[in-house]
Chains A and B, each alone.
Chain A
């Protein structure tokens, strides 16, 4: 397993990121480097990644971004880029979940190694009065919103090793649906249940194409969380989970169609 350099959240880093957020892709590209004097390696066991390996990873991520429109601001295929970057970060970084929970490694990647990719993926349109979202650059509490951290966790949680294409779930979900699932830490902990829920919801999306997928996923995720208080999701085997998730998906569709749940309070 690899250890990546970490850069702690600090006033200096936030100031630097504020500059990067509005600097534009080209300027961020000029500021790329492989090391920072405040960086340090993580505490868990593993082999420190070399600067050459860091450079190689940055090049590979850039190549993926280029395949999806980088560095141009127009015609960006952000969904395709997210999927490809997720897979590459997960397979290419070689880190443990413990290492991935460190905000420092993601801060280092976004503000030192590849700031231009973050600036490209999450551009700030100053003309529209946008100030940028530091959560994409710096991990505050959890890495679920970070430009790279969220992609690594997405791949980690949704990988289906028993399927011909281990990434088939990731390819079928949309951004809002990822958010409904992966920004709920309690739900993420029940990985088997979450994968079964996704399977059931994908079938519901197909049979009810007129319903808003993100809203439907939000309703279902909340139902599962509520149920988790009285039902031990670990107690159910694959058949039991499939039956339960089918019920949740069906009830969520009924609730949304009947107007019992609005988009805002689902």
Chain B
């Protein structure tokens, strides 16, 4: 017969595997359906422990306990279509450890939009078992995967325009300045991407390192938290300045209006935005203190 014949084969009993829970490398938090404070020029590190019962796994997919499998995890970016993966050391099912450690590293500059993470257990080598058309035989055959479509994670900030420039050379600030948010909220219908820029002073080496060299350093996490707070604070104030206009219109997705309205609804979900404005007008200092909690200033989890 011509060509590659892919026979259907038995998949593993889902109960023989505990799907992995992915943890964010920078703060140890669980990977949810969104990653906030994400800057695409930083590395994203995800870790997990895969748990499976080797003998139950083998019997459910018709394999011998002496057969070898491998656990792989792969990431895929829904926008760039780039992929990457990690592969654990292959093991015999009768010598299966209780858990298999996995670590996915997404290189800087590879992600935008959405992230899909998928974990598989695949056949590597069969022993001397008799050929059975219902049992996987081809190396690489997928015996278990965590979900047909994997996990979709919205990435928080890659669409937020960030640029590193030399402040002193361009007149945006002093040589010792750190950052500046340039926001034009005059046209609420304008595209948000075109109306906002976070400028980072390229001469500020500590800040540049914090936003470009991954999330492992606790000092960098503090700087990013401060930066995130400063940006969100300016957006909240801009939104409150235009609260009447925002409440009167239903802004298009991706517009300045939608972004400003969105941050109020996200950070003050249970309060009418007009009441938030009144609170700010009544007592600015108290409002600013509340704002620190609402925007999660320095709430960066347990630092190493």
Contact = CB atoms under 8 A, between A and B. Distances in A.
A47 interface: yes
B61 to A, nearest CB: 13
Q: How large is the interface on B (under 10, 10 to 19, 20 to 34, 35 or more residues)?
A: 35 or more
> Of B81, B197, B200, which is in contact with the most chain A CB atoms at under 10 Å from its CB?
B81
The 8 closest A-B pairs by CB, nearest first: A96-B109, A45-B41, A235-B122, A231-B140, A234-B85, A189-B83, A43-B161, A232-B122
Given A98-B158, A232-B72, A46 B6 contact: no
12 contacts: A1-B109, A40-B193, A41-B163, A43-B158, A44-B112, A46-B164, A96-B108, A96-B109, A98-B80, A189-B76, A227-B4, A235-B87
A31 to B, nearest CB: 24
B118 to A, nearest CB: 9
Interface of B: 2-4, 6, 9, 39-41, 70, 72, 74, 76, 79-83, 85, 87, 108-112, 120, 122, 124, 138-142, 145, 158-165, 193-194, 197, 200, 202, 211-212
Contact of B165 (A48, A96, A255): A48
Contact of A227 (B6, B81, B145): B6
Contact of A230 (B6, B70, B111): B6
A245 to B, nearest CB: 11
A233 interface: yes
B142 A45 contact: no
Interface of A: 1, 3, 40-48, 96-101, 185, 188-191, 223, 226-227, 229-237, 240, 243-244, 247-248, 251, 254-255, 258, 260
B114 to A, nearest CB: 12
B83 A190 contact: yes
A47 B4 contact: no
B109 A251 contact: no
B90 to A, nearest CB: 9
> Of B79, B140, B211, which is in contact with the most chain A CB atoms at under 10 Å from its CB?
B140
Contact of B3 (A41, A233, A243, A255): A255
Nearest to A157: B82
Contact of B193 (A43, A188, A251): A43
A133 B246 CA distance: 43
Given A44-B41, A46-B41, A255-B3, 13 more contacts: A1-B109, A40-B193, A43-B158, A45-B162, A47-B163, A223-B4, A230-B9, A233-B140, A234-B85, A235-B139, A243-B139, A248-B4, A254-B2
A3 B162 CA distance: 10
A247 B2 CA distance: 11
